[in-house]
Structure 1
Protein backbone atom coordinates (compact mmCIF):
# COMPACT_ATOMS: atom_id res chain seq x y z
CA UNK A 1 0.00 0.00 0.00
CA UNK A 2 1.44 3.35 -1.07
CA UNK A 3 1.74 6.27 1.32
CA UNK A 4 1.10 9.84 0.22
CA UNK A 5 4.35 11.51 -0.79
CA UNK A 6 3.53 15.12 0.05
CA UNK A 7 3.23 16.83 3.41
CA UNK A 8 -0.46 17.29 4.27
CA UNK A 9 -0.08 19.15 7.55
CA UNK A 10 -2.90 21.62 6.84
CA UNK A 11 -5.30 18.79 6.02
CA UNK A 12 -4.35 17.20 9.33
CA UNK A 13 -5.05 20.48 11.14
CA UNK A 14 -8.39 20.92 9.37
CA UNK A 15 -9.39 17.35 10.17
CA UNK A 16 -8.61 17.78 13.85
CA UNK A 17 -10.36 21.15 14.01
CA UNK A 18 -13.49 19.68 12.42
CA UNK A 19 -13.42 16.78 14.88
CA UNK A 20 -12.99 19.13 17.84
CA UNK A 21 -15.86 21.34 16.66
CA UNK A 22 -18.10 18.31 16.16
CA UNK A 23 -17.38 16.97 19.63
CA UNK A 24 -17.91 20.43 21.12
CA UNK A 25 -21.28 20.72 19.41
CA UNK A 26 -22.32 17.30 20.69
CA UNK A 27 -21.64 18.48 24.24
CA UNK A 28 -23.18 21.94 23.80
CA UNK A 29 -19.84 23.74 23.94
CA UNK A 30 -18.32 26.41 21.72
CA UNK A 31 -14.74 26.24 20.44
CA UNK A 32 -12.73 29.00 18.77
CA UNK A 33 -9.60 28.30 16.69
CA UNK A 34 -6.93 30.92 16.05
CA UNK A 35 -4.02 30.50 13.66
CA UNK A 36 -0.73 31.96 14.81
CA UNK A 37 0.32 32.45 11.18
CA UNK A 38 4.03 33.44 11.12
CA UNK A 39 4.14 33.88 14.90
CA UNK A 40 4.74 30.15 15.33
CA UNK A 41 8.48 30.82 15.24
CA UNK A 42 8.12 32.71 18.53
CA UNK A 43 5.52 30.61 20.31
CA UNK A 44 6.37 27.12 19.07
CA UNK A 45 2.78 26.44 18.04
CA UNK A 46 0.60 26.73 14.94
CA UNK A 47 -2.83 27.22 16.51
CA UNK A 48 -4.54 28.32 19.70
CA UNK A 49 -7.78 26.60 20.69
CA UNK A 50 -10.16 27.80 23.38
CA UNK A 51 -13.44 26.47 24.73
CA UNK A 52 -13.95 30.04 26.03
CA UNK A 53 -12.71 28.93 29.44
CA UNK A 54 -9.45 27.07 28.89
CA UNK A 55 -6.75 27.72 26.29
CA UNK A 56 -4.47 25.26 24.49
CA UNK A 57 -1.74 25.86 21.90
CA UNK A 58 -0.63 23.10 19.51
CA UNK A 59 2.32 22.66 17.16
CA UNK A 60 1.24 20.37 14.31
CA UNK A 61 3.47 17.98 12.38
CA UNK A 62 2.12 15.80 9.58
CA UNK A 63 4.31 12.78 10.36
CA UNK A 64 6.06 11.55 13.48
CA UNK A 65 9.43 11.99 11.77
CA UNK A 66 8.70 15.72 11.38
CA UNK A 67 8.81 16.21 15.16
CA UNK A 68 12.61 15.94 15.00
CA UNK A 69 12.66 19.07 12.83
CA UNK A 70 12.13 21.01 16.07
CA UNK A 71 15.71 20.05 16.89
CA UNK A 72 16.93 22.42 14.18
CA UNK A 73 15.38 25.48 15.83
CA UNK A 74 17.64 27.34 18.30
CA UNK A 75 14.63 29.05 19.92
CA UNK A 76 13.13 25.70 20.83
CA UNK A 77 16.38 24.50 22.39
CA UNK A 78 16.50 27.63 24.52
CA UNK A 79 12.93 26.94 25.63
CA UNK A 80 13.65 23.30 26.43
CA UNK A 81 16.72 24.15 28.52
CA UNK A 82 14.68 26.59 30.61
CA UNK A 83 11.86 24.08 31.03
CA UNK A 84 14.39 21.49 32.18
CA UNK A 85 15.59 23.85 34.90
CA UNK A 86 12.43 25.58 36.09
CA UNK A 87 9.59 23.50 37.56
CA UNK A 88 6.97 26.26 37.45
CA UNK A 89 7.33 27.01 33.75
CA UNK A 90 7.58 23.30 32.95
CA UNK A 91 4.31 22.52 34.73
CA UNK A 92 2.51 25.40 33.04
CA UNK A 93 3.91 24.47 29.62
CA UNK A 94 2.89 20.83 30.06
CA UNK A 95 -0.68 21.89 30.69
CA UNK A 96 -1.24 24.20 27.71
CA UNK A 97 1.52 23.66 25.09
CA UNK A 98 1.20 20.49 22.98
CA UNK A 99 2.61 18.96 19.83
CA UNK A 100 0.62 16.77 17.42
CA UNK A 101 1.57 14.38 14.63
CA UNK A 102 -0.03 11.56 12.66
CA UNK A 103 1.00 7.96 12.10
CA UNK A 104 0.26 5.89 9.01
CA UNK A 105 -2.09 2.92 9.28
CA UNK A 106 -4.31 0.83 7.04
CA UNK A 107 -8.07 1.45 7.25
CA UNK A 108 -10.31 -0.88 5.19
CA UNK A 109 -7.51 -1.55 2.70
CA UNK A 110 -6.93 2.19 2.31
CA UNK A 111 -4.11 4.21 3.79
CA UNK A 112 -5.03 6.42 6.71
CA UNK A 113 -3.60 8.47 9.55
CA UNK A 114 -3.97 8.24 13.33
CA UNK A 115 -3.30 11.50 15.20
CA UNK A 116 -1.23 11.53 18.39
CA UNK A 117 -0.69 14.31 20.90
CA UNK A 118 1.76 14.96 23.71
CA UNK A 119 2.87 17.87 25.84
CA UNK A 120 5.56 19.75 23.92
CA UNK A 121 8.06 19.31 26.73
CA UNK A 122 7.42 15.59 27.07
CA UNK A 123 7.76 14.91 23.34
CA UNK A 124 10.32 17.42 22.08
CA UNK A 125 12.64 18.44 24.90
CA UNK A 126 15.11 15.56 24.84
CA UNK A 127 18.43 14.52 23.35
CA UNK A 128 16.81 12.25 20.76
CA UNK A 129 15.45 15.42 19.12
CA UNK A 130 18.23 17.95 19.82
CA UNK A 131 21.27 15.69 20.00
CA UNK A 132 23.65 14.58 22.75
CA UNK A 133 25.43 17.93 22.79
CA UNK A 134 22.21 19.76 23.72
CA UNK A 135 22.69 19.05 27.42
CA UNK A 136 19.00 18.31 27.91
CA UNK A 137 18.04 16.06 30.80
CA UNK A 138 15.88 13.48 29.03
CA UNK A 139 17.28 11.02 26.51
CA UNK A 140 13.99 10.33 24.72
CA UNK A 141 10.30 11.37 24.65
CA UNK A 142 8.02 10.50 27.55
CA UNK A 143 5.67 8.17 25.67
CA UNK A 144 3.37 7.45 28.63
CA UNK A 145 1.78 10.90 28.33
CA UNK A 146 0.84 10.55 24.65
CA UNK A 147 -2.87 10.89 23.88
CA UNK A 148 -5.23 9.94 21.10
CA UNK A 149 -7.37 12.74 19.69
CA UNK A 150 -10.50 11.51 21.44
CA UNK A 151 -8.92 11.66 24.90
CA UNK A 152 -7.32 15.03 24.29
CA UNK A 153 -10.59 16.55 23.07
CA UNK A 154 -12.56 15.03 25.95
CA UNK A 155 -10.15 16.40 28.55
CA UNK A 156 -9.97 19.80 26.82
CA UNK A 157 -13.73 20.24 26.65
CA UNK A 158 -14.15 19.11 30.26
CA UNK A 159 -11.51 21.59 31.44
CA UNK A 160 -8.98 18.99 32.58
CA UNK A 161 -6.51 19.93 29.83
CA UNK A 162 -5.39 23.40 28.83
CA UNK A 163 -5.20 26.29 31.26
CA UNK A 164 -7.29 29.29 32.24
CA UNK A 165 -6.86 32.61 30.45
CA UNK A 166 -4.74 34.26 33.14
CA UNK A 167 -2.20 31.41 33.21
CA UNK A 168 -2.18 31.16 29.42
CA UNK A 169 -1.47 34.87 29.09
CA UNK A 170 1.38 34.55 31.58
CA UNK A 171 2.85 31.69 29.53
CA UNK A 172 2.57 33.37 26.13
CA UNK A 173 3.92 36.66 27.51
CA UNK A 174 6.86 34.74 28.93
CA UNK A 175 7.54 33.08 25.56
CA UNK A 176 7.53 36.53 23.97
CA UNK A 177 9.95 37.80 26.62
CA UNK A 178 12.49 35.21 25.46
CA UNK A 179 12.69 37.10 22.15
CA UNK A 180 14.58 40.29 21.34
CA UNK A 181 12.13 41.39 18.66
CA UNK A 182 10.42 44.14 20.66
CA UNK A 183 6.96 42.71 19.93
CA UNK A 184 4.51 42.89 22.82
CA UNK A 185 1.77 40.36 22.13
CA UNK A 186 0.01 37.88 19.89
CA UNK A 187 -1.98 39.13 16.91
CA UNK A 188 -5.03 36.99 16.16
CA UNK A 189 -7.85 36.91 13.60
CA UNK A 190 -11.03 34.88 14.11
CA UNK A 191 -14.33 34.74 12.28
CA UNK A 192 -17.38 36.28 13.93
CA UNK A 193 -20.12 33.68 14.57
CA UNK A 194 -22.67 35.55 12.45
CA UNK A 195 -25.08 33.43 10.42
CA UNK A 196 -25.69 35.96 7.65
CA UNK A 197 -22.24 37.33 6.79
CA UNK A 198 -18.57 36.42 7.15
CA UNK A 199 -16.83 38.91 9.43
CA UNK A 200 -13.20 38.64 10.54
CA UNK A 201 -12.29 40.07 13.93
CA UNK A 202 -8.77 41.38 14.65
CA UNK A 203 -7.16 41.23 18.11
CA UNK A 204 -3.77 42.47 19.27
CA UNK A 205 -3.57 40.14 22.28
CA UNK A 206 -5.10 37.06 23.83
CA UNK A 207 -6.65 39.35 26.44
CA UNK A 208 -8.57 41.25 23.74
CA UNK A 209 -9.81 37.95 22.32
CA UNK A 210 -10.94 36.68 25.73
CA UNK A 211 -12.75 39.96 26.50
CA UNK A 212 -14.58 39.77 23.18
CA UNK A 213 -15.53 36.12 23.71
CA UNK A 214 -16.91 36.96 27.14
CA UNK A 215 -19.01 39.83 25.76
CA UNK A 216 -20.21 38.18 22.55
CA UNK A 217 -23.82 37.18 23.05
CA UNK A 218 -24.05 34.23 20.69
CA UNK A 219 -25.43 30.96 21.95
CA UNK A 220 -23.34 27.79 21.76
CA UNK A 221 -24.83 25.11 19.54
CA UNK A 222 -27.30 22.78 21.17
CA UNK A 223 -26.07 19.25 21.92
CA UNK A 224 -26.56 16.89 19.02
CA UNK A 225 -29.33 14.40 19.95
CA UNK A 226 -28.25 10.79 20.02
CA UNK A 227 -30.09 8.56 17.52
CA UNK A 228 -32.66 6.26 19.07
CA UNK A 229 -32.12 2.51 18.75
CA UNK A 230 -33.94 0.98 15.81
CA UNK A 231 -37.48 0.00 16.77
CA UNK A 232 -37.65 2.36 19.75
CA UNK A 233 -40.54 4.83 20.00
CA UNK A 234 -39.56 6.43 23.30
CA UNK A 235 -37.40 6.25 26.41
CA UNK A 236 -39.55 3.50 27.91
CA UNK A 237 -39.04 1.07 25.02
CA UNK A 238 -36.41 -1.68 25.20
Structure 2
Protein backbone atom coordinates (compact mmCIF):
# COMPACT_ATOMS: atom_id res chain seq x y z
CA UNK A 1 0.00 0.00 0.00
CA UNK A 2 1.30 3.43 -0.93
CA UNK A 3 2.10 5.60 2.10
CA UNK A 4 4.24 8.50 0.93
CA UNK A 5 5.89 9.61 -2.26
CA UNK A 6 8.70 12.15 -2.38
CA UNK A 7 10.83 13.32 -5.30
CA UNK A 8 13.57 15.79 -4.50
CA UNK A 9 14.66 16.66 -8.02
CA UNK A 10 12.99 17.05 -11.37
CA UNK A 11 14.40 15.06 -14.26
CA UNK A 12 14.95 17.87 -16.72
CA UNK A 13 14.46 21.49 -17.66
CA UNK A 14 12.29 22.82 -20.44
CA UNK A 15 13.64 25.35 -22.90
CA UNK A 16 11.06 28.14 -23.01
CA UNK A 17 9.80 29.81 -26.18
CA UNK A 18 9.61 33.23 -24.53
CA UNK A 19 12.22 35.33 -22.80
CA UNK A 20 12.08 38.73 -21.14
CA UNK A 21 10.72 41.02 -23.82
CA UNK A 22 10.92 38.76 -26.90
CA UNK A 23 9.65 35.46 -28.26
CA UNK A 24 10.93 32.94 -30.80
CA UNK A 25 8.93 30.42 -32.86
CA UNK A 26 8.96 27.56 -33.68
CA UNK A 27 10.18 25.61 -30.63
CA UNK A 28 12.47 23.49 -32.83
CA UNK A 29 13.73 23.44 -36.39
CA UNK A 30 13.99 20.27 -38.48
CA UNK A 31 15.85 20.23 -41.79
CA UNK A 32 15.35 17.56 -44.43
CA UNK A 33 15.96 17.36 -48.18
CA UNK A 34 14.81 20.98 -48.59
CA UNK A 35 17.76 22.02 -46.37
CA UNK A 36 16.08 25.29 -45.34
CA UNK A 37 13.95 26.55 -42.46
CA UNK A 38 13.27 29.72 -40.51
CA UNK A 39 12.72 31.24 -37.08
CA UNK A 40 10.56 34.25 -36.27
CA UNK A 41 11.71 36.64 -33.54
CA UNK A 42 9.12 39.04 -32.08
CA UNK A 43 10.17 41.88 -29.81
CA UNK A 44 7.51 42.56 -27.18
CA UNK A 45 9.53 45.00 -25.08
CA UNK A 46 11.76 48.01 -25.58
CA UNK A 47 13.98 48.24 -28.67
CA UNK A 48 16.66 45.56 -28.70
CA UNK A 49 19.61 44.38 -30.77
CA UNK A 50 19.90 40.65 -31.44
CA UNK A 51 22.54 38.23 -32.63
CA UNK A 52 21.71 34.82 -34.14
CA UNK A 53 24.31 32.03 -34.12
CA UNK A 54 24.30 28.31 -34.81
CA UNK A 55 26.36 25.86 -32.74
CA UNK A 56 26.93 22.12 -32.98
CA UNK A 57 25.40 20.26 -30.03
CA UNK A 58 26.81 17.28 -28.13
CA UNK A 59 25.70 15.61 -24.90
CA UNK A 60 27.29 13.60 -22.13
CA UNK A 61 24.65 12.53 -19.60
CA UNK A 62 23.03 15.85 -18.57
CA UNK A 63 25.84 18.06 -19.79
CA UNK A 64 25.38 19.87 -23.10
CA UNK A 65 28.41 21.16 -24.99
CA UNK A 66 28.50 23.49 -27.98
CA UNK A 67 31.08 24.35 -30.60
CA UNK A 68 31.26 26.81 -33.47
CA UNK A 69 30.18 25.34 -36.79
CA UNK A 70 29.82 26.27 -40.45
CA UNK A 71 27.28 23.46 -41.01
CA UNK A 72 24.35 25.87 -40.58
CA UNK A 73 24.09 29.35 -42.07
CA UNK A 74 21.78 32.04 -40.66
CA UNK A 75 20.57 35.29 -42.20
CA UNK A 76 20.52 37.86 -40.82
CA UNK A 77 22.98 37.21 -38.01
CA UNK A 78 22.47 40.60 -36.35
CA UNK A 79 19.40 42.84 -36.34
CA UNK A 80 17.63 45.45 -34.25
CA UNK A 81 13.91 45.41 -33.50
CA UNK A 82 11.71 48.16 -32.22
CA UNK A 83 8.87 47.27 -29.86
CA UNK A 84 6.33 45.09 -31.67
CA UNK A 85 8.61 44.44 -34.66
CA UNK A 86 9.20 40.99 -36.16
CA UNK A 87 12.26 39.49 -37.85
CA UNK A 88 12.43 36.22 -39.81
CA UNK A 89 15.81 34.47 -39.52
CA UNK A 90 16.50 32.16 -42.46
CA UNK A 91 18.21 28.83 -41.74
CA UNK A 92 20.26 27.04 -44.43
CA UNK A 93 22.04 23.69 -44.12
CA UNK A 94 25.63 24.05 -45.37
CA UNK A 95 26.57 20.37 -45.49
CA UNK A 96 25.18 17.28 -47.21
CA UNK A 97 22.83 14.95 -45.38
CA UNK A 98 24.26 11.56 -44.49
CA UNK A 99 23.12 8.38 -42.72
CA UNK A 100 23.13 10.02 -39.27
CA UNK A 101 21.02 12.65 -37.53
CA UNK A 102 22.96 15.80 -36.61
CA UNK A 103 22.02 18.12 -33.73
CA UNK A 104 22.57 21.85 -33.38
CA UNK A 105 21.20 24.75 -31.40
CA UNK A 106 20.38 28.19 -32.71
CA UNK A 107 21.03 30.85 -30.09
CA UNK A 108 19.10 34.11 -30.27
CA UNK A 109 20.98 36.53 -28.01
CA UNK A 110 19.98 39.98 -26.90
CA UNK A 111 23.13 42.09 -27.14
CA UNK A 112 23.89 45.54 -25.84
CA UNK A 113 24.05 48.17 -28.55
CA UNK A 114 27.43 49.93 -28.71
CA UNK A 115 26.00 53.20 -27.47
CA UNK A 116 24.49 51.41 -24.46
CA UNK A 117 27.79 50.01 -23.21
CA UNK A 118 29.43 52.19 -20.59
CA UNK A 119 32.79 51.69 -18.88
CA UNK A 120 32.66 49.70 -15.63
CA UNK A 121 29.01 48.71 -16.15
CA UNK A 122 27.33 45.38 -16.71
CA UNK A 123 23.99 44.96 -18.43
CA UNK A 124 22.12 41.68 -17.98
CA UNK A 125 21.04 40.30 -21.36
CA UNK A 126 18.90 37.33 -22.38
CA UNK A 127 19.63 34.36 -24.63
CA UNK A 128 17.33 31.66 -26.02
CA UNK A 129 18.37 28.35 -27.57
CA UNK A 130 16.26 26.56 -30.19
CA UNK A 131 17.06 22.91 -31.06
CA UNK A 132 17.83 22.20 -34.70
CA UNK A 133 17.97 18.66 -36.11
CA UNK A 134 19.13 17.52 -39.54
CA UNK A 135 17.35 14.29 -40.47
CA UNK A 136 19.26 11.31 -41.87
CA UNK A 137 19.38 11.09 -45.67
CA UNK A 138 16.98 8.12 -45.44
CA UNK A 139 14.29 10.46 -44.12
CA UNK A 140 12.63 11.43 -40.80
CA UNK A 141 12.65 8.80 -38.05
CA UNK A 142 9.22 8.21 -36.53
CA UNK A 143 10.03 5.48 -34.00
CA UNK A 144 12.83 5.62 -31.45
CA UNK A 145 14.82 2.98 -29.63
CA UNK A 146 16.15 3.10 -26.09
CA UNK A 147 17.59 0.92 -23.35
CA UNK A 148 16.03 1.71 -19.95
CA UNK A 149 16.97 0.42 -16.50
CA UNK A 150 15.90 1.32 -12.94
CA UNK A 151 17.23 0.27 -9.53
CA UNK A 152 15.76 1.13 -6.11
CA UNK A 153 18.45 1.03 -3.47
CA UNK A 154 18.24 2.55 0.03
CA UNK A 155 15.20 4.62 -0.98
CA UNK A 156 17.07 6.05 -3.99
CA UNK A 157 15.80 5.43 -7.50
CA UNK A 158 18.69 5.07 -9.96
CA UNK A 159 17.65 5.43 -13.58
CA UNK A 160 19.57 5.03 -16.82
CA UNK A 161 18.19 5.75 -20.29
CA UNK A 162 20.39 5.23 -23.36
CA UNK A 163 19.23 6.46 -26.74
CA UNK A 164 20.08 3.54 -29.03
CA UNK A 165 18.03 4.78 -32.00
CA UNK A 166 18.75 6.93 -35.03
CA UNK A 167 17.04 10.11 -33.83
CA UNK A 168 16.80 12.30 -30.74
CA UNK A 169 14.23 11.52 -28.07
CA UNK A 170 12.21 14.29 -26.47
CA UNK A 171 11.01 13.17 -23.07
CA UNK A 172 7.47 13.92 -21.96
CA UNK A 173 6.93 12.07 -18.71
CA UNK A 174 8.47 9.56 -16.28
CA UNK A 175 6.06 7.29 -14.40
CA UNK A 176 6.71 4.78 -11.61
CA UNK A 177 3.82 2.41 -10.88
CA UNK A 178 2.91 -0.73 -8.97
CA UNK A 179 0.36 -3.35 -10.03
CA UNK A 180 -1.16 -3.26 -6.53
CA UNK A 181 -0.79 0.40 -5.55
CA UNK A 182 -1.23 1.97 -8.98
CA UNK A 183 0.64 5.08 -10.05
CA UNK A 184 3.27 6.04 -7.49
CA UNK A 185 5.10 8.84 -9.21
CA UNK A 186 4.63 11.04 -12.28
CA UNK A 187 7.28 13.55 -13.34
CA UNK A 188 6.84 15.74 -16.45
CA UNK A 189 9.94 16.47 -18.53
CA UNK A 190 10.86 18.28 -21.73
CA UNK A 191 14.44 17.00 -22.00
CA UNK A 192 16.17 15.98 -25.20
CA UNK A 193 18.33 12.86 -25.23
CA UNK A 194 20.57 12.90 -28.31
CA UNK A 195 21.53 9.81 -30.29
CA UNK A 196 24.06 7.70 -28.38
CA UNK A 197 23.72 9.66 -25.14
CA UNK A 198 22.99 7.95 -21.81
CA UNK A 199 20.93 9.91 -19.30
CA UNK A 200 21.58 8.90 -15.69
CA UNK A 201 20.13 10.13 -12.41
CA UNK A 202 19.73 9.28 -8.72
CA UNK A 203 16.51 10.41 -7.06
CA UNK A 204 15.59 10.04 -3.38
CA UNK A 205 12.25 8.28 -3.37
CA UNK A 206 10.45 7.38 -0.13
CA UNK A 207 7.43 5.10 -0.35
CA UNK A 208 6.18 1.63 0.48
CA UNK A 209 4.39 -0.45 -2.16
CA UNK A 210 3.76 -4.17 -2.20
CA UNK A 211 4.87 -6.19 -5.20
CA UNK A 212 6.96 -5.28 -8.25
CA UNK A 213 7.25 -1.75 -9.63
CA UNK A 214 7.76 -0.52 -13.17
CA UNK A 215 9.39 2.60 -14.60
CA UNK A 216 7.96 3.99 -17.83
CA UNK A 217 9.33 6.87 -19.89
CA UNK A 218 7.09 8.49 -22.48
CA UNK A 219 8.81 10.23 -25.41
CA UNK A 220 7.81 11.73 -28.73
CA UNK A 221 9.09 8.60 -30.46
CA UNK A 222 7.58 5.91 -28.30
CA UNK A 223 7.21 4.64 -24.73
CA UNK A 224 9.87 2.54 -23.01
CA UNK A 225 9.49 0.47 -19.84
CA UNK A 226 11.68 -1.39 -17.35
CA UNK A 227 11.08 -3.30 -14.14
CA UNK A 228 12.43 -1.54 -11.06
CA UNK A 229 15.00 -3.80 -9.48
CA UNK A 230 15.55 -3.84 -5.72
Q: Shorter-chain TM-score category?
A: under 0.3
The normalised TM-score by structure 2 is: 0.23
Q: Which has the larger helix fraction?
A: 1
Q: Which has the larger strand fraction?
A: 2
